[in-house]
Each structure stands twice: as structure tokens, then as C-alpha cells.
Structure 1
């Protein structure tokens, strides 16, 4: 469904990473973990995960967009939204999309995000919290530097408040000032779990990361293919 939206705000979350709040002219019913398409042209629709929770979004849709200069695909979207905000004009979205949404299950959950893939798992996590779900939840978020973990304080507070939620940040370049896990986020998961057969696994990041995770988890950690969810699987 194509819907007109007002751009309510654009805020820098970290270097080259922006939070965009959209207000659609008609409410968008979506599930935690789904995404929308920003319509840039008749045959040019660009996907971004909805960071909002479907039960606590108050009519607004939140996006986290990583828009470094070398990433023209995303940067052009941010620039278009900035123009719409400045001119009080509308943008078009097509929503909702995606089959990797939160499933109804009593199993433990493993949420894995690379970079701004965090927006996908944020929607799922916030929905679980708002619904009072007691499933064990382990959220692994990988970034090149700690500064790119823009929700670090928020997630650390959630980890402290909820006994069933465990936040594990992973930084590739620690520069000697990071005391947590370092390296690749998948390596961190592989080192912490011996058996993933009883987990529902949700993955957001680069396509190659999602594909590698599925392969490694199934062959090395007993994960079940039907319990691994990522929209990247539709493209690889």
C-alpha cells in the first residue's frame, strides 16, 4: 500500500546515522520486524526496517538510516527526506513488507544486528517488552566502533532492568579503550552458544552476514532452519 507521509524530524544518532520520524496520512498496521519501502521513483523503492514497535508507535514510523557518503543508496533517501522536511512536502512509502517478523513462540530469542540493522531488532525487542513477554532474549549488536552503538546506554539500562534480556555489544575496532567483546558479531555468538536448537533467531545486517550466520548456526550449532528469520534470505 502506497501512503503519503510527512517528515516530522531528522536527527543524527551517530556519525552518518540518522533517526527519521515519519507521520503517515493513514495509520500503517505492521508487525514487529517488518520494513517499509521509500518510494524514490516509479521503479525505485528502497527498503528500510521500521524501528518502531507496532504497539507503541503512536502513529509515527521511526527509521534508522546509515547514510555515509559512499552509500549513495541511503544518502539520497536522507537528502530527499531533508528536502521534504524543509519544504513541508510529502514523501511516499510502500508498507508494510517482510516475512521475518516476530513469531509467537515460547522459545528463547537470539537477536543479531550489524550496524543500523539494529532498527530491525529494536522493533522486536520493544514489542516483547511492551507485551510483557518473559522469553529469554539475547541481543548481539556489532559495530566497527563503540560510537556507532548509538543505543548503547538505552540497551544497557534495559539489560539491567529486565532479568530475561541480555545485551551483548561487539566492537570490531576497540582502539584499546573497549572492555567488552571484540571482533565479528557472529564469532561472538558462536563462542557463547553450543546449541541453538531451542532458539528463534532473528538476523539483520549485510546479506553476506545473514547468509553466513544461517550456514554456521545450522551446521555448527544445531539451529533449525525454520527458526531462523531474516528478510535477507529472500535476496540470497
Structure 2
């Protein structure tokens, strides 16, 4: 059976199957609800059922008095009717606790000669709640850290994806590309950062990525799709040559399947054998050409500090983008 669930006070709605928890159903459809263990032990997902009925498969952190008062643990509660529930939805990074966790490398796939897609599996009882666009810090044994954006959507909270570019001489990335292997254990903390959609006004959005800056853009778009985000998304991904658009088929598929999603790849130095017929030059110049007026838009940009700085300056000075509507995450690299 499938039931409709309305969340108050936001008024958001989602559908829940009778064989899945309310939390799993909400996360699957892009709603950010607070949670912790996902096993009924911590009580972080506790909320009130205002109308309708639920069945608890197990609920160790819920007393009989709380049940009688209409409270539920959404990680353990299954809908048995249409529901109205009360729950605070997470709106900012400050709502989410930072965790320090171990993770096992489950997959390492080379997407390009200098880019590896690393999948990190969390321990069975652990989950990382985060907002699309945030990053984690890999904790190295000598106390140093390396930051990487999460490339997966938040509803995938037990298997984390990182797009890691090889930095010649880079202390961590040299290990990733030479000695690191599947089943190795890493430690990290997170989530961090405030690079996430903040678009209550429903403005058209330009998503600007340079190189592996595509990772947080991928997370944002996949979450927007799960959330049935209705407003226009214009994705511009800039790279040097065709091989550097390492997941080009993915945004092409988004654009083909969703009328509100548009994708423009841009190469700055296409190789002779690329047979490239698309846009060329600097990726932010393609945005300038397509959007001479950005006064009613938002821009989310992720890439090198130089790209971020120039794009910010040009979008504001030439296209009228309000300064407060430019959001960015600049990638910096260390070889020490």
C-alpha cells in the first residue's frame, strides 16, 4: 500500500510505501529530516503524528507514554494510513552535526586518466546526514586533512562518493593513484560547508563547474531530481579536453529526462582527435554569452579559485547578478 504524508509546518508532501519507514521514504524523495542511527536507538528523528496512524516495527527510544501522546520515531514508523506529521526540516548546514567516522574503500574507478571515483562504505550502523553540495575532510595519520566534496545525493547516506583528481606531488592523491586499494580504511569528519541550494524564491539557477567541481554539482542536481525541484537548472561544465568531461553522459541524461534541466559542456583546449563541435573557451564566458542579464538568477560555482573569482566579478559587474546570489566552493590543492 502507498500512503500520502504531509509534513507540518512546511506543508511538504511525500508518498510512503507500507513496507518502508517514513524516514526512508522522505529521504528517497528529497526531504531533509533530522535523524541519527536509523535504528530507533538515538531518538533524533522523533516527531508527532498529527493525523492518521503508524505502526512501529521497533522503537527502543520511544516510551509508551510518548506513543500515547502521538509521538513516533520516523526511522521505525511505517504508515498504515495517509498521515499528517510534525517535523522540523533541515534548512542549513548548522542544523546537521559533524561526525568523525571510519569508512572502508568499496570501489575505486578511474573516470579519466587523472580522476578517480572513490566510494566509501560507512559502518553498518552509521549514516552521514548532509546537504547536497557539502564536503568531508579525510583525516591523515599525521594530523593533516584533505577536503573533498560529496558527489552523491544525501539520500545515499551510507555509501559516499568522492571525485579525486591526481595532484602531482600531492601527499594524499599520490597514495590514491599508486598504493591505495579497495578495502583500505580511511577516517573522515563532516559534513562541512554551506554550498547548498538556498532558493526559496524559486529563481532560475546557473550551476557552474570546473573540472572535478562537477562533484558537488552532481550531488545538488541528483537531490533536486529526487526532490522534484520544478525551477530551471542550467548546468555549465568546463574542462580542458573531452576526456576531462569524465561523466558527460550523466548531465546529458538529466537534460534529456527533465524539461527544467539544461546542460552546456565547454572545452577550453579540445584535443585534435576530440572532434569537438560544442562550445569552446572559458566556461564562465559561455554563461556570459547566454545570460547577459542575471539579475533574476542565482549562481552556484565550484572549481578553481581563479575561475570562481573571475566568474563572480564578471557576473556581478557585467550581468547584474546580485552579489548575495553568488554561491561558491573553491577547490584548492596542496602538495605538502
Same topology, TM > 0.5: yes
Quick check: 1:4–1:93 contact (8 Å CA) kept in 2?
yes
Query: Whose radius of gyration is greater, 1 or 2?
Result: 2
Q: Distance in 2 between matches of 1:163 and 1:60?
A: 29
Mark the CA change 1:9 to 1:162 in structure 2 (over 3 Å): closer, same or farther. Answer: same
Per mean C-alpha deviation after superposition, the further-off stretch among 88-97 and 138-147 is: 88-97
Using the TM superposition, give the Cα deviation of residue 54 of structure 1 relative to its aligned residue in structure 2, in angstroms: 0.6
Which gives a bigger RCO, structure 1 or 2 (Cα 8 Å, sep 6+)? 1
Which of 204, 213, 231 is 2:302 aligned to? 204
Q: How does 1:50-199 map to 2 (within 5 A)?
A: 50-55=150-155, 57=156, 59-68=158-167, 70=168, 72-73=170-171, 75-76=173-174, 78-79=176-177, 82-83=180-181, 85=182, 88-105=183-200, 106-175=202-271, 177-199=275-297
Using the TM superposition, give the Cα deviation of residue 157 of structure 1 relative to its aligned residue in structure 2, in angstroms: 1.8
> Given the two structures, how large is their TM-score scaled by the length of structure 2?
0.65
Q: Distance in 2 between matches of 1:142 and 1:79?
A: 23
Moved over 2 A (4+): none
> Given the two structures, how large is their TM-score scaled by the length of structure 1?
0.91
Using the TM superposition, give the Cα deviation of residue 71 of structure 1 relative to its aligned residue in structure 2, in angstroms: 5.2
Give the gaps of 5 or more residues in structure 1: none
Larger helix proportion of the pair: 1
Match of 2:137? 37
Using the TM superposition, give the Cα deviation of residue 73 of structure 1 relative to its aligned residue in structure 2, in angstroms: 4.7
Q: CA RMSD in A?
A: 2.0
Q: Distance in 1 between matches of 2:270 and 2:141?
A: 41
Per mean C-alpha deviation after superposition, the further-off stretch among 124-133 and 40-49 is: 40-49
